[in-house]
Chains A and B, each alone.
Chain A
Amino acid sequence: MHILDVLQETYSALSANKVRTGLTMLGIVIGIGSVIAMVSIGQGAQSSIQSSIQSIGSNLLIIMPGAQRGSGAQISTGRGGAITLLQSDADAINKEVSGISHVAAELSSRYQVTAKGQGTNTNTTVTGTTASYTSVRNLEIESGNFITDQNVKSLSKVAVLGPSTRDDLFGEGVDPVGKIIRIKSIEFKVVGVTKAKGGSGFSNQDDIIFIPLSSAQKYLTGSDYLSTISVQAESEDIMTVVQEDITALLLKRHKISDSASADFNIMNQSDILSTASTVTTTLTYLLAAIAGISLLVGGIGIMNMMLTTVTERTREIGLRKAIGAKRKDISLQFIIESIVLTFTGGAIGILLGCGISYAVNLLGIIQTTISVPSILLAFGVSTIIGIVFGYYPARRAASLNPIQALRYE
């Protein structure tokens, strides 16, 4: 029997009961659709978390004061108890550790800030830092300039605003360069605005004010400790080595012999990335597994319908056998019917899944990505479901005795 003839038989059989065919197919449509949508949402979450981690900089090691307790990353960053990092530490790292492209020392704290002559105020993070911060943290300037080495040397009272802070103090779209803000009643002149980066997993990089590190130490805190040293390694491969070198150097400088009682903590960006991607991968698997269960239920629906069909069409099967259909002709017909059901259902399901993923994208909930392998997999899975769940009904049809089949009422 030619395959085109089988397909013609299949078409007339399936179109004979459109409602039932449609409802059965719906099980597969929903199953495949949810697999595609879930996987795309999971992958979207993964890439959005990754890009958000990468937005804070690349190949970054962040050194923070505080004790490392146990083996986990339980960090105490309370400034009062952990004044351990100094500018000299940052300078030493820059000088003595190889494989480093930039080091930026930072001193952050929250203050109430007012804009002179505007009557507006906001509570935001004020970060004292150096010129290299822009390279380390991938920061770009929208207007004006960032803090220069000269500013740091001369303790200039200048400030660079994050875009959110600019909006809070001066309003959206206003260029605040040249205007005056007051931090702790000390006047700073705005010299630049950074470009928006979006929120990262750690802090809002847009709601921030940058001032020269030396000015922050002198005018705001009155001491020369640091809250963070950001180190950018030359490449991802050497990050572990650089981390170890920095640890050794700081332990030596702080005169600590046991690394377990270190008074600082180093966060490695690639560790964070890999932890985050492990979490999101697990999440994706979980979502796919839930969707897979609905696919299984859909498959059982197909089998149920095929068994009903075989019973209903017992006399037809008898007639076909009487006029010369062999076992394999009959079983092929029912298998193909089941495959056509699941394949069509799968195709519609893929469209549905892509539609859902597109809608999620459009609503801005998450940036989803549909991968070609997941579509191919869905097609493969739906065909296999057709074969697996069509096999038993088809075998039952093929093994019917033509005499009994013809007599069946």
Chain B
Amino acid sequence: MIEVKNITKIYKTGDTELRAVDDVSFRIEDGEFVAIMGPSGSGKSTLMHILGALDTPTSGKYFLDNKDVSEFSDDELADIRKTKIGFVFQSFNLLPRTTVLRNVVLPLVYSGIPKKEREEKAKEALIAAGLDEGHFLHLSNQLSGGQIQRVAIARALVNNPTIILADEPTGNLDTKTGEIVLATFQKLNKEQCRTIILITHEKEVAEHAERIIFIRDGKIVSDDKKHNRRIIDQESLACKELFKK
């Protein structure tokens, strides 16, 4: 569970002060699929960095699983990223000249998990992300854009994190491949009850989520449940019911 209370992030360059995120508060429950949407320069990336424990807010509190992360040190933040957060970036998701399996194993390497166990986990995650077993030993630069994002999703999953943070995951993909990646997120959200936070500037992409937080100039403009969301894969919403109880 994520709880953000009055978070402000100020960047100072010389005398000018930029309020990238300005007094933002919200809550995201486990199992939610939330899109954070806004035009470029709206502060959504800064918010993503704070949510992803890559950065700390200037003021305000950030609770991740009831732990106050807002004043953690570098290494403590690294621990949070390692255990509670899975990232999917727009580009440069994978280490070059490295096999798919090795890329997915990497977070577990930093967690110090034994070799055999981590390979099993990585394979499970890759299958969950929808990648063919035949690709596991391919080098990352031999993959297509869609495959790269699936590997990135698998890597985000492999540590069994509280949230998966996707920063413009379809930004470099064509519409069709983008749909496939978004479908993967929906499937993981539905079947494995993963909390997914999707950062995007595209309305069509955001509409795949069940809730959209719209921000502009560092402030929340709207925070709505999406009722007519785009569901690509019509399957059971069983785990949703589970969480509501």
Contact = CB atoms under 8 A, between A and B. Distances in A.
Nearest to A399: B74
A197 interface: no
A323 B107 contact: yes
21 contacts: A1-B109, A1-B110, A2-B109, A5-B109, A316-B95, A316-B96, A319-B89, A319-B92, A321-B54, A321-B78, A323-B82, A323-B155, A324-B78, A324-B83, A324-B107, A324-B159, A326-B74, A326-B79, A327-B75, A327-B78, A402-B54
Interface residues of B, number: 27
A245 interface: no
A16 B97 contact: yes
A322 interface: yes
Contacts of B155: 323
Interface string A1-30: 110010000001000100000000000000
Contacts of B49: 403
A391 B12 CA distance: 31
A16 B98 CA distance: 10
Interface in B87-129: 87, 89, 92-93, 95-98, 106-107, 109-112
A116 to B, nearest CB: 86
B169 interface: no
Size range of the chain A interface in the assembly: 20 to 34
B222 to A, nearest CB: 27
Interface of A: 1-2, 5, 12, 16, 315-316, 319-329, 402-403, 406
Interface of B: 49, 52, 54-55, 74-75, 78-79, 81-83, 87, 89, 92-93, 95-98, 106-107, 109-112, 155, 159
Contacts of B111: 324
A326 B82 CA distance: 9
A403 B155 CA distance: 19
Contact of A403 (B55, B92, B96, B110): B55
Given A2-B112, A12-B97, A329-B110, A323 B81 contact: yes
A18 B54 CA distance: 34
A245 B45 CA distance: 96
A323 B55 contact: no
Contacts of A328: 75
Contacts of B81: 321-324
